[in-house]
Amino acid sequence: MSRETLEINYTHLDTPVGKLMIGSSERGLCKVSFALEVDAEFFSWLEDHFQNAIFKENRKKSDPYLKAIDGYFGGKVRRFDFKLDLIAKGFRRNALLALSKVPYGKAVSYGELAALAGSPRAARAAGSACASNPIAIVIPCHRVIGTGGGIGGYGGGLHHKRYLLKMEGIDFKE
């Protein structure tokens, strides 16, 4: 039995935090990566998670995502309302989906995120979910800070997290 081939469209967007690589399928946005992840790693991740896919550079099909993310950096978009093709299961998926509902300008701790995802004692697992988030900015891991207000970690680099938190007016401790 042959599997239908999935098309993954990709492009990049220049932003105040550098180049973002963006990938989407017909099901929705599936990958947003900072320039810290070189293009080869971006495509390797896509190949690992979408084994039967073909990749096409297509700015036109990515346009809704590009406009929304660009609008976010321009202060015009505070909530993303497009479909996601989120590759995650179990608690990790629950945590990322819960995180996608944390509003612009608000922060949660890892413990609060765990509770929002249905497992209040799973703060470390919430941190792990954030660390594996394939859709940076849109699923806003930058809005997760330590219980005492410390900045915590960030796969996109702490300098990017500081920028995003400040842009949204979120207080944190260094």
pLDDT per residue over 89-105, tens digit each?
999 999 999 999 999 99
Domain limit, last residue, from 25, 47, 73: 73
pTM: 0.91
Domain limit, last residue, from 27, 46, 73: 73
Active centre residues (catalytic): 141
Q: How many domains in the chain? A: 2
Domain with 50 in it: 6-73
Co-location of 99 and 133 in the same domain: yes
Q: What is the separation, in whole angstroms, between the first and last Cα of the chain?
A: 55
Co-location of 103 and 162 in the same domain: yes
Domain limit, last residue, from 28, 43, 73: 73
How many Å apart are CA 143 and CA 107, to the nearest integer?
Answer: 5
pLDDT at 111: 96
Asked, for residue 33, whether it belongs to a domain, the answer is yes
Helix, strand or coil, per DSSP, at residue 135: strand
